[in-house]
Amino acid sequence: MKSLLPLLALAALALAAPQQQQQPPKWYAGLPTVKLPNGEWQAAKYDTANDLYVFKNIRFAAPPVGRLRFAKPAPPAPNTTLQLGAYGPSCPQSVPGGLLPGGLTSSIDVGSFLAGAAGVSEDCLFLDVYVPAKAWSREVGPLPVVNWIYGGAYLLGNKEGQYDGTPVVRASGGNLIYVAGNYRLGAFGFLAGETMEKSGAPNAGLWDQRAVLEWIQANIGLFNGDPGAVSVWGESAGAGSILHHLTAFGGTKPALFKRAVAQSMAYDAQIDRKGQLEKQFQEIAKLAGCATGGIECLRGVSTAALKAAQDKYINTLPGGKPGFGPAVDGDLVRQMPPLELASGNVAKGVESIINSHTSDEAKMFTPAKATDSTFTAVTEHYFGTYPPVKAAIAKKYDVGRFGGDQVARIHDMFQFSTFTCSSRFVSEGFKGKTYNVQYSRGGGMHGSDIAADFYVPKTGLAALFTTDRTFGDFATNYQSYLISHARSGDPNKFRGNGTIAWPAVTWGPTLKNVLDAGDKGFALIEDPVTKEGDCEFWKDAFAGMTSGLGFAPPGAVVQSSYPPKGNPSANYKL
């Protein structure tokens, strides 16, 4: 089953490959236009079957190249010519070799799968808007807005293909507007550490996502969207990104969205700003030929050279993890999200959240074969900078608990630390405001819920992958929960006839009233993979690492069972 990831990824990329620009049809000149602060855009098409307009490749930020590489997104320059949305490359990306099927050990250049009219470029900060015609003509509205953030291990993905917004707008009956934007990936978007904090912008990919949300607040009214009714949706790295937006700036700033759907929140504890994260930056610099030139040298190397350095780096990492992603920076990511959630330091103004995981998140990321040295290498890479936590992990996940099965041992560690406990942490930070779901249909592999999110019969993933005869009805009903939530904040208000009433989650040692979306339809269960004992262990470990390494924000120190060593905030300001 591990080979499912590259299959899904490459299928998604095949769907995402930009199509060659065709000659405009006779009615093209009649498509609507919108005047934005940086220029005028014309709708790229009118979808007659679904009665909606699609505005493609609206530039929301300046090209992040040259001095803007590793910087926060900058405002785009004005453009005086009418824009048709023909240009919109994907950001540089690759598939980590550790997640490829047997025998393939190096990263592959997914740009070859995106070769076409637009391809891949660092000039990639574009977004799409899907607008029902009845909203554009002001027959209804202003309409709620869904902003999709794609997943892909923070290394691959884009706004295209399987994330076409038509299924979402279609499922809403034309009662939503859909927006999706690109964000920088890998070394281009997620380098962090001391050097980046002083001379660049850690978490540039998160800043790109935030720029899309700010663009929506400023401009969606021009499309007859409601900036006060924005839902942010995401899966895997997209949901992990949402986790960070829910706790951005330690909750000191209002949210740029009202609702959220976070599916399979991928989270890795990237905290050691002076150690692990700085070491990663220096290693990338060395591999790119900038061992002594620092960030200025890295800004000057070619896209190909930086991407090659990224690929070499990720192929040295243990296990199935990609190695890049949001990191603690003392600013946008003040400290680890689980600790902010435990302290109530969350974005203000969030009305409700659908909080999701699949039943087997970790299988795809667990090595097919493992030894004790594999486990040691994984824990050393992610937790080795604070030995007390590393030792506690080895004890908690002693191989004897798993009958000597090293693979099962790593699987459980990934399952709880990286995925499922995030659901519990978000439910803690937003008590009474979360609707929790376990997606178990078809074995509940990581990413399997996307086919239901964007389901349209005989198109997209529904056409590429065999589904059973009942999947269409199931997916339509599953979609109805998400659409209802985006429209009203309540997944029940507009839910389908084949669904059941879904209450907010009940907090306790186990989470109750969790919706299981499975092979037999929908049922309410106690969540088997977010139990207090498993998840409190990880929260305690994260708190111990934060204080032990001196990165706790002053006034927001989360207590742990690990004995403190000196000032827990000694290294907070680098």
| C-alpha to C-alpha distance for 252 and 553, rounded to whole angstroms | 13
pLDDT grade, residue 381 (50/70/90)? confident
Domains identified in the chain and CATH numbers: 4-371+435-462 (3.40.50.1820)
Residues 6 or more apart in contact with residue 391 via CB below 8 angstroms: none
Comparing CA positions, the residue from 292, 65, 294 lying closest to residue 198 is 294
pLDDT grade, residue 269 (50/70/90)? confident
Residue of 172, 231, 236, 352 with catalytic role: 236
Q: Is the pLDDT of residue 166 over 80?
A: yes
- Contact between 386 and 424 (Cβ < 8 Å): no
Alpha helices by DSSP H, listed for 257-365, are 276-287, 294-300, 303-314, 337-343
236 included as an active-site residue:
yes
DSSP code at position 178: E
- Contact between 550 and 533 (Cβ < 8 Å): no
Q: Is the pLDDT of residue 6 over 60?
A: no
Name the least confident of 228-237, 516-525, 560-569.
Answer: 560-569
Position 102 scores a pLDDT of: 40
- Taking only the tens place, the pLDDT of each residue in 329-342 is 999 999 999 999 99
Q: How many CB atoms lie within 10 A of CB 95?
A: 26
Which two tokens mark 458? 């005989």
357 sits in which H/E element: strand 352-358
| C-alpha to C-alpha distance for 109 and 93, rounded to whole angstroms | 7
- Taking only the tens place, the pLDDT of each residue in 482-525 is 999 999 999 999 999 999 999 999 999 999 999 999 999 999 99
Position 4 scores a pLDDT of: 41
| Average pLDDT in the chain | 88
Q: What percent of the chain has pLDDT over 90?
A: 74
- Contact between 289 and 305 (Cβ < 8 Å): yes
Which two tokens mark 400? 């004897």
Position 29 scores a pLDDT of: 56
Position 117 scores a pLDDT of: 38
Q: Is the pLDDT of residue 142 over 90?
A: yes
Judge if the upstream peptide bond of residue 367 is cis by omega within 30 degrees of 0: no
Q: Is the pLDDT of residue 444 over 60?
A: yes
129 φ/ψ angles, rounded to the nearest 5 degrees: -130, 125
What's the per-residue H, E or C state across 543-561? HHHHHHCCCCCCCCCCCCC
- Give the DSSP letter string of 16-37: HSPPPPPPPPTTGGGS-EEEET
- Per the model's pLDDT, the better-predicted residue between 413 and 321 turns out to be 413
Q: Strands 52-59, 45-47: parallel, antiparallel or unpaired by DSSP?
A: antiparallel
What value does the mean pLDDT take over residues 242-251? 97
Which two tokens mark 84? 């048709």
Q: Is the pLDDT of residue 27 over 70?
A: no
